[in-house]
Homo-oligomer: A and B are copies of this chain.
């Protein structure tokens, strides 16, 4: 008998609107787990503090990850 488990993902809705990496305060990646069967990507916007869930397989997410990791000490004030 399979155990029934409560599935509880953080994201209810996934935004398809692309996000500009410049306006991100933070990006969170939550790996698949017992409580949610798929990876989740949650971004926090700089000014509003608004959180949005993005599609982990989208081109936008790939670009964001690349952009964040490329920034080093090249940030101008």
Residues on A close to B: CB < 8 A? 2-3, 5, 21, 24-34, 37-39, 56-57, 65, 67-69, 71-75, 77
* 5 pairs of A and B residues whose beta carbons are closest in the complex: A32-B75, A32-B71, A27-B29, A31-B68, A37-B73
Give the docked Cα–Cα distance between A29 and B3 (Å): 34
Cβ distance A19 to chain B, nearest Cβ, rounded Å: 12
Give the docked Cα–Cα distance between A39 and B31 (Å): 20
Query: In the complex, are the beta carbons of B31 and A21 less than 8 A apart?
Result: yes
Chain B residue nearest to A28 (CB atoms) is B28
Give the docked Cα–Cα distance between A74 and B65 (Å): 23
Partner of A75, one of B27, B30, B33: B33
